[in-house]
Amino acid sequence: MQEIYFIRHWETDRNLNKIINPWDVDSMLNDTWIQQAHDAGKKLQAEDISFDVIISSSLTRALDTAAIIAEYLGYDWEIISRDDIKEKYAGIFKDYHQSQFPEEFGVKYSQEVVAKFPDQHFEWLESGPDFQKRIDDAMVSIKSNPDYQDKTILLVAHGGVWRAIFGDMHIGNCEYMKV
Protein backbone atom coordinates (compact mmCIF):
# COMPACT_ATOMS: atom_id res chain seq x y z
CA MET A 1 0.00 0.00 0.00
CA GLN A 2 1.32 3.43 -0.94
CA GLU A 3 2.09 5.86 1.89
CA ILE A 4 2.94 9.52 1.37
CA TYR A 5 4.52 11.73 4.00
CA PHE A 6 4.76 15.49 3.60
CA ILE A 7 7.48 17.66 5.10
CA ARG A 8 7.67 21.40 4.78
CA HIS A 9 11.13 22.80 4.06
CA TRP A 10 12.77 24.62 6.90
CA GLU A 11 12.55 28.36 7.18
CA THR A 12 14.41 30.86 5.02
CA ASP A 13 15.28 34.44 5.91
CA ARG A 14 12.36 35.56 3.72
CA ASN A 15 9.96 33.34 5.72
CA LEU A 16 11.41 34.60 8.98
CA ASN A 17 10.96 38.22 7.90
CA LYS A 18 7.45 37.51 6.59
CA ILE A 19 8.32 38.42 3.02
CA ILE A 20 6.52 36.45 0.33
CA ASN A 21 8.67 33.45 -0.63
CA PRO A 22 7.17 32.33 -3.95
CA TRP A 23 7.98 30.12 -6.92
CA ASP A 24 9.96 32.88 -8.59
CA VAL A 25 12.37 33.52 -5.69
CA ASP A 26 14.78 30.66 -5.11
CA SER A 27 15.81 31.62 -1.59
CA MET A 28 18.16 29.39 0.34
CA LEU A 29 18.15 28.04 3.86
CA ASN A 30 20.47 29.82 6.28
CA ASP A 31 22.81 28.07 8.75
CA THR A 32 20.29 28.04 11.61
CA TRP A 33 17.59 26.54 9.44
CA ILE A 34 19.97 24.02 7.91
CA GLN A 35 20.73 22.77 11.42
CA GLN A 36 17.03 22.36 12.07
CA ALA A 37 16.67 20.35 8.86
CA HIS A 38 19.42 18.10 10.29
CA ASP A 39 17.34 17.81 13.46
CA ALA A 40 14.33 16.69 11.40
CA GLY A 41 16.50 14.09 9.66
CA LYS A 42 17.68 12.81 13.05
CA LYS A 43 14.08 12.61 14.28
CA LEU A 44 12.96 10.59 11.25
CA GLN A 45 16.00 8.34 11.71
CA ALA A 46 15.22 7.83 15.42
CA GLU A 47 11.62 6.96 14.55
CA ASP A 48 12.95 4.44 12.01
CA ILE A 49 10.93 5.93 9.17
CA SER A 50 12.40 5.24 5.74
CA PHE A 51 11.34 6.16 2.25
CA ASP A 52 11.46 4.36 -1.07
CA VAL A 53 11.07 7.62 -2.99
CA ILE A 54 11.82 11.24 -2.10
CA ILE A 55 10.07 13.83 -4.25
CA SER A 56 10.93 17.50 -3.78
CA SER A 57 9.90 20.83 -5.14
CA SER A 58 12.60 21.99 -7.53
CA LEU A 59 13.29 25.10 -5.44
CA THR A 60 16.63 25.10 -3.60
CA ARG A 61 15.10 25.45 -0.12
CA ALA A 62 13.10 22.24 -0.58
CA LEU A 63 15.84 20.33 -2.39
CA ASP A 64 18.35 21.21 0.36
CA THR A 65 15.92 20.01 3.03
CA ALA A 66 15.33 16.78 1.09
CA ALA A 67 19.07 16.16 0.67
CA ILE A 68 19.78 16.68 4.37
CA ILE A 69 17.00 14.31 5.39
CA ALA A 70 18.11 11.73 2.80
CA GLU A 71 21.56 11.64 4.41
CA TYR A 72 20.15 10.61 7.79
CA LEU A 73 17.94 7.94 6.31
CA GLY A 74 20.59 6.31 4.15
CA TYR A 75 18.57 7.19 1.07
CA ASP A 76 20.94 6.54 -1.84
CA TRP A 77 18.62 7.11 -4.80
CA GLU A 78 17.91 10.22 -6.80
CA ILE A 79 15.72 12.85 -5.21
CA ILE A 80 13.01 13.49 -7.77
CA SER A 81 12.64 17.21 -8.45
CA ARG A 82 9.25 18.50 -9.62
CA ASP A 83 8.21 21.99 -10.71
CA ASP A 84 4.53 21.24 -10.17
CA ILE A 85 4.92 21.21 -6.38
CA LYS A 86 6.70 24.56 -6.19
CA GLU A 87 5.24 27.34 -4.09
CA LYS A 88 2.64 29.63 -5.66
CA TYR A 89 3.82 32.05 -8.32
CA ALA A 90 3.43 35.52 -6.74
CA GLY A 91 4.30 37.73 -9.69
CA ILE A 92 4.23 41.41 -8.76
CA PHE A 93 3.76 40.52 -5.09
CA LYS A 94 6.98 38.50 -4.79
CA ASP A 95 8.73 41.07 -2.59
CA TYR A 96 5.73 42.06 -0.52
CA HIS A 97 5.77 41.82 3.25
CA GLN A 98 2.77 39.87 4.54
CA SER A 99 1.54 42.96 6.41
CA GLN A 100 1.15 44.85 3.13
CA PHE A 101 -1.87 42.84 2.00
CA PRO A 102 -4.15 43.86 4.90
CA GLU A 103 -2.76 47.41 4.85
CA GLU A 104 -3.07 47.98 1.10
CA PHE A 105 -5.92 45.69 0.11
CA GLY A 106 -7.76 44.67 3.29
CA VAL A 107 -7.04 40.96 2.75
CA LYS A 108 -4.57 38.44 4.17
CA TYR A 109 -3.14 36.75 1.02
CA SER A 110 -2.37 37.66 -2.58
CA GLN A 111 -5.04 35.31 -3.96
CA GLU A 112 -7.62 37.23 -1.93
CA VAL A 113 -6.53 40.41 -3.71
CA VAL A 114 -7.46 38.80 -7.02
CA ALA A 115 -10.85 37.73 -5.66
CA LYS A 116 -11.52 41.19 -4.19
CA PHE A 117 -10.55 42.99 -7.41
CA PRO A 118 -11.68 40.61 -10.17
CA ASP A 119 -11.59 43.28 -12.87
CA GLN A 120 -7.91 44.08 -12.31
CA HIS A 121 -5.02 42.20 -13.86
CA PHE A 122 -2.10 41.37 -11.54
CA GLU A 123 0.82 40.51 -13.78
CA TRP A 124 2.20 36.99 -13.46
CA LEU A 125 0.16 36.17 -10.36
CA GLU A 126 -0.99 32.56 -10.11
CA SER A 127 -4.58 32.58 -8.92
CA GLY A 128 -5.68 30.54 -5.92
CA PRO A 129 -7.81 28.18 -8.07
CA ASP A 130 -4.99 27.73 -10.59
CA PHE A 131 -2.51 26.96 -7.79
CA GLN A 132 -4.96 24.51 -6.17
CA LYS A 133 -5.48 22.75 -9.51
CA ARG A 134 -1.72 22.50 -10.08
CA ILE A 135 -1.20 20.90 -6.66
CA ASP A 136 -4.24 18.61 -7.03
CA ASP A 137 -2.97 17.47 -10.44
CA ALA A 138 0.52 16.86 -9.00
CA MET A 139 -0.89 14.75 -6.18
CA VAL A 140 -3.00 12.69 -8.62
CA SER A 141 0.11 12.20 -10.77
CA ILE A 142 2.17 11.04 -7.79
CA LYS A 143 -0.54 8.78 -6.35
CA SER A 144 -1.34 7.15 -9.69
CA ASN A 145 2.24 6.67 -10.90
CA PRO A 146 2.75 2.91 -11.26
CA ASP A 147 6.40 3.27 -10.20
CA TYR A 148 5.24 4.59 -6.82
CA GLN A 149 2.66 1.91 -6.01
CA ASP A 150 3.39 0.08 -2.76
CA LYS A 151 6.09 2.67 -1.95
CA THR A 152 6.62 4.96 1.00
CA ILE A 153 7.12 8.45 -0.39
CA LEU A 154 8.47 11.62 1.19
CA LEU A 155 7.15 14.78 -0.43
CA VAL A 156 9.26 17.87 0.43
CA ALA A 157 7.56 21.13 -0.45
CA HIS A 158 6.29 24.46 0.86
CA GLY A 159 3.73 25.98 3.22
CA GLY A 160 1.43 26.95 0.35
CA VAL A 161 1.53 23.41 -1.02
CA TRP A 162 0.73 22.13 2.47
CA ARG A 163 -2.33 24.43 2.65
CA ALA A 164 -3.47 23.27 -0.82
CA ILE A 165 -3.37 19.64 0.37
CA PHE A 166 -4.48 19.96 4.00
CA GLY A 167 -6.34 23.29 4.21
CA ASP A 168 -5.93 25.26 7.41
CA MET A 169 -4.36 22.42 9.43
CA HIS A 170 -1.09 23.82 10.81
CA ILE A 171 2.33 22.38 10.11
CA GLY A 172 5.57 23.93 11.28
CA ASN A 173 8.73 24.12 9.27
CA CYS A 174 10.45 20.72 9.01
CA GLU A 175 7.48 18.98 10.58
CA TYR A 176 6.14 15.99 8.74
CA MET A 177 2.79 14.30 8.47
CA LYS A 178 1.31 11.36 6.64
CA VAL A 179 -0.92 12.44 3.74
The domain that contains 152 carries what CATH number? 3.40.50.1240
119 found inside a domain: no
Residue type, 39: D
106 found inside a domain: no
pLDDT digits (tens, 9 = 90+) for 107-155: 887 778 878 888 887 776 787 888 999 999 999 999 999 999 999 999 9
CA–CA gap between residue 59 and residue 78 (Å, rounded): 16
The upper half-sphere exposure of residue 11, i.e. CA atoms within 13 Å in the direction of its Cβ, equals: 13
pLDDT digits (tens, 9 = 90+) for 151-162: 999 999 988 898
What is the β-pairing status of strands 176-178 and 3-8? antiparallel
pLDDT digits (tens, 9 = 90+) for 13-59: 777 777 776 666 677 777 877 888 898 999 999 999 999 999 999 99
Handedness of CA 166, 172, 176, 177 (dihedral sign): negative
92 found inside a domain: no
Residue type, 36: Q
pLDDT digits (tens, 9 = 90+) for 86-112: 988 877 788 888 888 889 889 887 778
- The band of 66, judged by pLDDT with boundaries at 50, 70 and 90, is very high
User: Count H helices, E strands: the chain?
Assistant: 7, 5
More confident residue, 131 or 12: 131
164 found inside a domain: yes
CA–CA gap between residue 57 and residue 156 (Å, rounded): 6
User: Rounded to two decimals, what is the model's pTM?
Assistant: 0.86
Q: Give the residue numbers spanning the domain of 171.
A: 3-87+126-178
